[in-house]
Structure 1
Amino acid sequence: MGNLKLDIGEKVEYNGKNCIIAKTVDLNEICIEEVDRNIFRTVNISALNPPTDYEPERQLQSLNDKEWIVATKRFEIIKSVINTKTNRQLIDSIAKKNNVSRSSIYRWLKKYNSYQTVSSLAPTKKNHSKSRLNPEVDKIIYDSIQNVYLNKSKHSINQLCRATEETCNKNNFISPHKSTIIRRLKSLSEEEVLRSRYGKKKADEKFLPIIGHFPGANYPLSIVQVDHTIVDVILVDEINRMPSQRPNLTIAIDVFSRMIVGFYLSFDPPGELGTGICIVNSIMRKEDWLMKFGVEGTWPCWGIMNTIHVDNAKEFRGKMLRKATQNYGMKLEFRPVKNPKYGGHVERVIGTIAKEVHDLPGTTFSNIFERGDYNSMKEATMTLNEFEKWLLEFIINIYHVREHKSIEMSPLQKYKEGIMGSDINKPLTGLPPVVINEKRLRYDFMPYVERTIQEYGVLINRVLYYNNVLKKYIHARADTSKNKKKQLFIFRTDPRDISKIYFYDPVIEDYFEIPYRDSSYPPISKWEFNKVVRYLKKIQEKNIDSNKIFSTYQKMKDIENQSKKSTKKRRLEIIRNNSVSNIKSKSTESSCIIEDISEDTFNPNAEPFKNIDYE
């Protein structure tokens, strides 16, 4: 039988390009070198083809009767010289006797010696995958893909098609159809697209092999990896159930067992807050969380982890996270630079969740080719809370209990073995301590600022806050000396609601809630607040203070609410109109039936108003 040889140095073809095998990466992947451009790529073996000059063997089951007759006839012609030394005189006599060319005899012998099957001598089918375009147009498509699509500008497919069309028109060629260009894009390797459009880091994260054992992950909660992702699904709002946006997910995984120990789901952009809440959710017990969403199952993960492993994103390098982890005896460790494979465990979990999400209504899929004509906005049905419940169900009752290939058992079983031991292995840690003061823990992992306390209270981002608990610290200094600087106090902030901040009293050693000084101000998120400030700056407003910011916010909110009411009213009008049309059509049908009844019948058991529809 014919084989595609995968030895180092063998010639292969990849995406129509001649390549040479450089090295074997693993059982499924090969590193190849493009002959013309000296570019190295790591590709799946299934993406490789025989070299251009290779003629594939015809399989027996693919031959029709006519082709089989041709194959057997050719075999009979060369049978006498198979596995024997031949000379030109002998070949010429066979060719003359059978009225074929000498080169045909040599070609059939070569094929049979390679495959050792009669079917290999059947006529080779034409390769219709070769491009039938004008070679010049073919080159224009190739150049456009390289210069327009495969670069950091991330131009769309429509822009690529327009650029191709412009170049073809300029050179007096007929422009190819859009579907032709899209087929070319589909033939590109995902690694090549990621590397060209998003950089080496993104490509390596997905295609570089993950190290088999993460150093130091020798017991449960020894190392927990944390990362963010935008989930591939459109959610609807809780009130009007209109399409909203894609949520952000921050997730934490125990590397030893592959158990998901916690997550945080929101529409807020990734940042210190989301990271902090995810870590807190990972540390705390989960019974209240599961009860809130009515999820049945067990999630026996809690306790302070030894090391938190994160990438080098800005939100992981803030002073809050550094101090909080240090305070609770946790080591904050960053991935080695240019070594994204060290975050492969959490990346793989994110990929597993993404595959499941692609079956949900409103999914955006991972790319435009998968999405096709699917209207994600129109099909969206789940709210944020409904999706969080779905995610909890998947994690607890599916992911945690099914076998994980890397550890050859389920994550839950591996975690239990590490904590409790098994018939073969002794326990590695025992049950971890439970953090009792959840309120304190949550405050400690919230973003904070340091401020002095004045007679008017405390000023943070143009907004004043005050509570009587601050009174004794007004103009407080670092010590009793008048020459010393004023004392700085810690105020925790929640970007989701800036209507209150949390003051840490250094004497009592506890937190107190501090509201707006002006109680007429509405609750607002940090992102809404900054949006209003940007708007006021854009219209060149001067002396931007809290009064102007909140009054502008209220006006914008009123306009938004009015537009929602108008939209809802119009939607109800359409529904009512459709209902009226249906009632009219039904009444017309009923009148036709009534005409056939000669007299009314009396029903003494009839209930008044029973058949009236109420809106």
Structure 2
Amino acid sequence: MDSIRKGARFWIDSKKWVYEGAAPSGLALMYSEDLSEYREVKLGDLIDEDPEETEYAVPAIETKASAEDWALAEFRYSALKDYVEADDSKVGDLAAKLKISEPRAYALVKIFKNASGPADFLKDKPGVKQGKRLIPTRIEAIVALSIKQKWKGPGSNIAEVVKYVEELCDKAGLKAPAVGTVANRIRCISQSQLAMLRDGHKSANDMYQPRPRKNKASHPLAKTEMDHCLVDCIIVDEKTRMPLCRPWVTVIIDLHTRVLVGYYLSIDAPSSFSVAQAITHATFPKDDWLAHLDLEDISYPYYGKLESLAMDNAKEFKAKALKIAADKHAIKLNYRPPGRPWWGGHIERLFGTLAVGYIHFLPGTTMSNVVQKGDYDSEGKACLTFSEFEKWFARAVAIYHNTEHRSIKQTPHDKWVSAWTDSEGRLRQPAIVENKVRFSLDFYPEKMRTISRQGIEMYGFRYWSGALSAYVKKKVAVKYNPLSLRFIWVNPTGERYVRVPFADLTLSDLSLQELKAANRQIKAAGEVSGKRLVSKREVFRLVEKNREIVETAKRATKTLKKMQESRSVYKDRETYINSDEKTSVEIQQPDDDFATPPTLFKIEFE
């Protein structure tokens, strides 16, 4: 059978490579004479045609020299400079000054004409130069490839590299180098590069990346950071007390004071709604929130409109609605470069402080990893419900605020108070955003929709209010709450939001998560029966059925329990979110509000 012959030439990345044989990994082992490098290549990447040639630059080798060598080089350079600039200089005098022969002096003058500095006159040492490789270039290339391929993961060792070198040399018909030679090549690689190969980019940067600059803020709210964290503790269901899930927390920290200025706890994974809730929590005073949690025994005086907010590149942080709302309210969004988590170091350390100092002592903790966890039964020990954990977390944050911070040498609370105290000793307070509802809705997730004569269509439902009549055929941004789809909000004039209910007022409320679960059931039923159920009544029937399962089952599935828990949590929070009468009046309601139930009259029949 025909096969690729050893020595066959192919083109890879516009360079000519020679086929050496099949590598142990099943790929083709190729060698480049130009690069003096071996590479394992997929057979599909081999090209036998001559593409357009490109240049290849070989990096220069850094020169090493002692202090004496540098002193001699500088002396030679200075003497040669004086000789060239003098009009009546003689080469014999130069040779005598440098204590060399006249032919050697002429040679140095020639070098000086093209020299860039004293480094060109470093004295060469006799014998083999430091760093010179004595084994053949092809074998050097095989060793380099083997280190790159086999020095990976925490179990990396010299024996694996040596074994692979021997296999590749055998395929290429070369004599394998000694074990000491391979070990020498590994030792010549910098520790940071070895860590990069062994542990990955992030771990290597954590250990060796220089970070001379510090991210400091001149005053409170000038610089803040936001991020999500999966809490290292399992919570239980409110009714069954069975293990449910690990909650998520979205946190915003103020860099000047290290105060946790706002956060949002949720059972559901992070989303645009989590971001909106965290920002609004950070912006407004916390009195209503503390009263709702029945935590009037603690103080949480930290609030204010953020000036800048730093985040990573998660999808929910780059949502269009967030960027528009941030521009509207003069909040500068800063995104950390990909692959550089240390740019968010303050909030990462905060997560570590809350976990190690507080959460890891809770029953049901999962610890930070399986090694720390050991044989601890996290699910078996879990006992806190979401509402109980919410209260516990608020108190833990209060303890953190009143504990001395190592970096600022005082407590975050004291730092906040001193930052808001003027030169005369009077305590000032941050300005309050006037319209709470409008500010909150600006950060809600949104979708673009056109107002039709039938209303607004979204997620398969139709929404209508008489206030939309004047804006038919107009395209608007629709704000919505994924935890409650009974209302949407539109701002057709740019002045105020209009709250729009379901067009069918008999439909009950549901969350986006419940809707998606019901749609999956409908799709599955349609695939089995050959028919697709599309009635919205069927959707709500399935949603109600799922809720009944959660209510009655002793051990319902976690997905269903999480949907029920999210729903109950939202209903509780809604009571204090919409409790402010001054802000709620800003939501425009039409005179002919069809959301108002009709009046019932008693009729007597003869």
Answer yes or no: same fold by TM over 0.5: yes
**Aligned residue number for residue 563 of structure 1:** 553
2:437 matches 1:439? yes
Offset of residue 556 of structure 1: 3.6
Q: Choose 273-282 or 336-345, whichever is displaced more.
A: 336-345
Match of 2:515 in 1: 529
- Taking the TM superposition and a 5 Å limit, the aligned residue runs for 1:281-296 are 281-295=281-295, 296=297
CA RMSD of aligned residues (A): 3.3
TM-score for both structures, normalised by structure 2: 0.55
DSSP-derived class of the 1:450 partner: strand
Do the aligned partners of 1:262 and 1:278 also contact (CA within 8 Å) in 2?
yes
Q: What is the distance in 1 between the residues matched to 2:198 and 2:540? A: 41
Counterpart contact for 1:235–1:380, Cα < 8 Å: yes
Give 1:454's aligned residue: 452
Written as runs of structure 1 = structure 2, the 5 A alignment for 1:89-108 is none
Mapping of 1:433-512 within 5 angstroms?
433-473=431-471, 475=472, 486-506=473-493, 509-512=495-498
Partners of 1:254 and 1:451 lie apart in 2 by 37
Distance 1:564 1:388, change over 3 A: same
TM norm structure 1: 0.54
- Contact residue 450 and residue 456 of structure 2 kept, 8 A: yes
* Residue 293 (structure 1) shift: 2.1
Q: Does 1:227 align with 2:227?
A: yes
| Aligned mates of 2:280, 2:456 — CA distance in 1 | 28
SS of the residue corresponding to residue 265 of structure 1 reads strand
Contact 2:152 2:199 in 1 (8 A): no
What is the distance in 1 between the residues matched to 2:287 and 2:490? 29
* Contact in 1 for aligned 2:242/2:555 (Cα 8 Å): no
Q: 1:220 to 1:565 in 2, by over 3 A?
A: closer
TM-superposed deviation, 1:336:
2.4
Asked whether the 8 Å contact 2:154–2:199 carries over to 1, the reply is no
CA 1:531–1:200 in 2, change beyond 3 Å: closer, same or farther? Answer: farther
1:256 and 2:256 correspond: yes
| Native 8 Å contact 1:208 1:341 kept in 2 | no
Give the whole-Å Cα distance in 2 for the aligned partners of 1:220 and 1:237.
38
- Contact 2:153-2:198 at 8 Å conserved across structures: no
Could you tell me which residue of structure 1 aligns to residue 503 of structure 2?
A: 517
Counterpart amino acid of 2:517?
A: K
Q: Are the counterparts in 2 of residues 230 and 248 from structure 1 also a CA contact under 8 Å?
A: yes
CA distance in 2 between partners of 1:305 and 1:382 (Å): 33
Work out the percentage of aligned pairs sharing the same amino acid: 32
Note if contact 1:491-1:503 (Cα within 8 Å) is conserved in structure 2.
yes
How far apart are the structure 2 equivalents of 1:389 and 1:209? 39
- Alpha-carbon spacing, 1:487–1:387, altered in 2? closer, same or farther (3 Å): same
Does residue 1:550 correspond to 2:548, yes or no? Answer: no
C-alpha distance after superposition, 1:389-422 (max 9, x if no partner):
11111112x2111111111111112222222157
2:449 aligned partner, one-letter code: R
Q: Which residue of the partner structure matches residue 379 of structure 1?
A: 381
CA distance in 2, matches of 1:300, 1:499: 34
1:218 corresponds in structure 2 to 218
CA distance in 2, matches of 1:354, 1:330: 29
Q: 1:281 Cα deviation (Å)? A: 0.5
* Cα distance change of structure 1 residues 148 and 259 upon mapping to structure 2, 3 Å threshold: closer
Flag the 1:521–1:206 CA change in 2: closer, same or farther, 3 A.
farther
Q: 2:307 is matched with which residue?
A: 306
Distance 1:195 1:403, change over 3 A: farther
Aligned partners of 1:457 and 1:465 also within 8 Å: yes
Shift of 1:560: 4.3
* 2: CA distance, partners of 1:206 / 1:404: 22
Structure 1: any 5+ residue segments left out of the alignment?
Answer: 1-144, 152-190, 476-485, 568-615
Kindly tell me: are residues 517 and 149 of structure 1, through their superposed partners in 2, closer, same or farther at Cα, counting changes over 3 Å?
A: farther
CA distance in 2, matches of 1:197, 1:231: 29
Structure 2 residues without counterparts, runs of 5 or longer: 1-149, 157-191, 558-606
- Equivalent residues in 2 for 1:33-52 (5 A)? none
Say which SS state the counterpart of residue 358 (structure 1) adopts.
helix
- Which residue in the other structure is 1:159 paired with? none
CA distance in structure 1 between the aligned counterparts of 2:208 and 2:335, rounded to whole angstroms: 19
* Shift in Å, 1:463: 1.4
Aligned length: 366
Mapped to 2, the partners of 1:266 and 1:422 lie a distance apart of: 41
Measured in 1, the distance between the counterparts of 2:210 and 2:293 equals 35
